[in-house]
Structure 1
């Protein structure tokens, strides 16, 4: 079956590198993954605890708001849903923020997403990848090592997070890093939801 290219996108076989700020330098001794927000009890997991979680392998299409799309990249990682075993959510939690490092700030980057959309095999915190041109390899620091959140293909790629550092559970939706700068809260590439105001055509990141 032919892949569907969202409007305004072009297909590439490369995996372009775009990010805000400095490349995070991983230190296992200080790294931790925080689960917090509207939960009964907040928790932090070490790198070894995260890497002991069940693994999922999934092939995911990526659509970047800068207009490139890459089909059929296979990732290995930890499914978003695996982290739910550690927290008891408050009633009516329907949204999350995925956080990542930005210029040394553990929570400097964030992206908001609906919880319901993240329960499948295509919502992964990934650490290695392959495609038809590459065998299995760890993601590089510039791609988000040691852990990068890749969202389902029904969202533009900025809804992921390089150098992932935690999940905040929320009852109400709240804009993340790029949403605060005028990007769409929902970010559906097939509806070309790039900006909160379609007329607000400032420079793509």
Structure 2
């Protein structure tokens, strides 16, 4: 797969063709294409925690039953002041997905933490990691600015908590202009990471990306 990415992405900027990749974000309301059954990894949005104080976990998808694909249960999060009931609801959903026979990798949190607020986010993730059974990994999505402007100590703390970060190069349905500048400092993350591309968006791999031992591949956000 990485060899194929080199041939596509070297040199001129290319359009992201989803079928050329093997890992995907599948959000609620997006009809999975027939070829998705061949995917190696899928990050599936299971539900969300909305910003209103006291809001509960809102499920957005029936428990999947998928064979041959590594699944991540993704929760879109808009606030971090979780009470005990909210933790229980999310962890119960993890248990349900695993009990259905899926090859579950773990839990992913999708939260747009401000670059200057990474310390507070790390505190939340450390608490969550302590509650998550050890057989499940913890993944997070991240903004490109984290590597460029994030405090080194905050990044190091995150690296000690999460198993991976998936860095988003898009906003909505479009690639963020100037992504090359943001991604020039990816090695500052100090943890395993993937690069998230949007289907149909633009992409040119930064020099040295695929030789970075912490780079674990791409994830395409399906439209």
TM-score (norm 1): 0.23
Give the structure with higher Rg (CA). Answer: 2
* The structure with more helix, counted as a fraction of residues: 2
